[in-house]
Amino acid sequence: MSTTENGRTALSRRTSFTLAAKTPGRYTDRDFPALGLQVSPKGKAVWFTRGKGAAGKEFRHTLGIAALDGDGLLAFSYEQAKEWAAEQLQAALRPPAPKPEPDQYATLAGVWTLYIQNRRTKKGLPLADSTKKDYEKWYRIALKPVHDWRLAEVSVIAWIDFLSSVRAKHGEAKALYMANILSSVYSFLMGLDRIDYNPMTKVRLGRLFVAPKPRTTHIPTADLRAFWNGIGRTLKRRNSRDAVRLLFMSGLRLNAALGLRWDQVNLGKSYIYVEPGQVGWKGFTGVMPISDYVADLLRERYVMRKSQEWVFPKRTGDMDEGSPHMTRVSDSLAEVCESACIEVVTAHDLRRTMATVGNLAFGAEIDKVAVLLGHNWAVDGKGMAVSKSAITARYIQTELATLRAIANEAANFMLELVGERPMSEGTAAKLERAGLAI
C-alpha cells in the first residue's frame, strides 16, 4: 500500500481493490472521478472501499468521514480506514458459508409425507389406504394453518388454542381427531429420536377435547311409513332416490353403499363381495348377503347404468372432485325428512334404524342383526369372512342361503312396516308385544 501527494492510497491491482481518502474539507464528485470518492450530502469526504471479492463479485462499502484524527465512530483516520479496508477485503474474498440443510423433521409439513408412508398401527401394520386418504383430507382442511410450526418449540397452550379453533369450526369429534393425529406425529418423531417430548400428553390432561356422546338417533317405528313415502314423493333424481332406499333397506354405511362397484355385485346369487381394506366396511372382508328387494333395486340400476364401474357414479357438477362416485346424500335426506315432518336424520341414522327394526324382527337373536350390519364378531360365527377364491358352490348353497334368509326376513319386515307390503299376523304380533302401533 502506498500514499500519493493528495492522500490517495491504493492496494495491489491484483485484488481489484481501491482505498481513497482526503483531508476533511468540501469536495465534489468531480474531484475524484477515477477513485470514486464518495461525497456526503453535506459535501464531506468519506472513506469508501470498492473492489471484487469471491467469484469476481463487485462490492462497494462506505465507512464514514475521512479525518486526520478519527474518533472511530463517525470520523476515521487513515490508519483506521486502512485497517477497516483490509477487513472488508478479507471478508469479500472469503467464500460464503454453505446454507444449512433444512430440517425435514422440524415441522409438520416437513415430516408429513414420511409419517404417512411409515406410520404403523398398534398391530405393526401400515396405515390403510382409506386412513391415509382421510389423514390427507383433514391435513388440508384443518392442519394446514400449523403446517410450518416448529414442533419442538410449540407450547401446550398454543396447541390448546389451535385445537379450540378446530372445535369451533368443525366440531368436538374433529378436534379430538386432530389432537390424536398430532400426538401420533409426535410419537413417530420420538421413535426416530428426533424429539424428546410430546405436548399432546399434557393437552389430554385438561380433558378439553373429548369424544362427543355417541349419536343414537334413528327413525322411530311410527315414522317409518312417512319417511318411506317421502322418498318417492320428494326425490326426483333416480340416483338420489335409489341411494336413500338402498341405505334404508340395507343398513350399509354411507361410504360402503355409495362406493359399490359393479364387479363386486353378484346379482345372480344376491351378494356383495367386500375386498380387504375397502372404505366403509370397518375391516370386514368377504361375502355380504343382500335381500331380494336390494338385489332388484341394483338389477334395475344395472340395466340403466351410465357407468361401467360405479353403481352410483358422481353426478355432473358434484363439488367433491376427488371422488369418481357419489359421496353424500345429506341434502336428499333433509328434503325427505322435511316432507315427512320428522327430525332430520343422517345416513348413519338409517343404519341404526335398520338395527332397531332387525332387533324387533329377530327378538333375542342379536347375532342376526349383527350379521346384517357386517359386524366382525357375528361375521366370523356365520362363516362369511371368506376369500373370493373360496366362494365354492357348496358355500353358495349352504352358508349364503342361510345368510340371505336373514337379510330377506329383515327386509320383508321393514317393507311391511312402511306399508309397501300387507302386514302379516307375525309382524302385527311382534309390534303388539313391543307396545308399538303403526
357 and 222 in contact (C-beta within 8 Å)?
no
pLDDT band at 399 (very low <50, low <70, confident <90, very high): low
Residue whose C-alpha cell reads 410430546 in the numeric block: 198
Q: State the DSSP code for 142.
A: I
Report the pLDDT value the prediction gives residue 149, as an integer from 0 to 100: 96
**pLDDT > 50? residue 27:** no
Report the pLDDT value the prediction gives residue 415, as an integer from 0 to 100: 94
Alpha helices, H only, 43-150? 78-93, 108-118, 129-138
Per residue, the 3-state secondary structure of 348-382, as one string, reads HHHHHHHHHHHHHHHCCCHHHHHHHHCCHHHHHHH
Report the pLDDT value the prediction gives residue 228, as an integer from 0 to 100: 97
Report the pLDDT value the prediction gives residue 22, as an integer from 0 to 100: 39
- 292-302 pLDDT, tens digit each: 999 999 999 99
Q: At 23, give phi and psi (nearest 5°).
A: -60, 140
CA quadruple 420, 422, 423, 424: dihedral, nearest 10: -130
Residue range 221-317+324-434, CATH number: 1.10.443
pLDDT band at 435 (very low <50, low <70, confident <90, very high): confident
Query: Do the first three CATH levels of 108-205 and 221-317+324-434 match, i.e. the same topology?
Result: no
Choice between 431 and 22, residue whose per-residue pLDDT is larger:
431
Indicate the domain borders of the chain.
Answer: 2-93, 108-205, 221-317+324-434
Mean pLDDT of all residues belonging to the chain = 80
Q: At 75, give phi and psi (nearest 5°).
A: -115, 145
Report the pLDDT value the prediction gives residue 240, as an integer from 0 to 100: 95
- Global pTM exceeds 0.75: no
CATH architecture label of 108-205 = Orthogonal Bundle (1.10)
297 and 318 in contact (C-beta within 8 Å)?
no
pLDDT band at 322 (very low <50, low <70, confident <90, very high): low
Percentage, residues of the chain above pLDDT 90: 47
Choice between 209 and 18, residue whose per-residue pLDDT is larger:
209
Q: At 164, give phi and psi (nearest 5°).
A: -65, -35
Q: What does the block give as the cell for 339?
A: 316432507
Choice between 102 and 147, residue whose per-residue pLDDT is larger:
147
pLDDT band at 53 (very low <50, low <70, confident <90, very high): low
Q: Lowest-pLDDT range, 19-23, 122-126, 319-323?
A: 19-23
**pLDDT > 80? residue 314:** yes
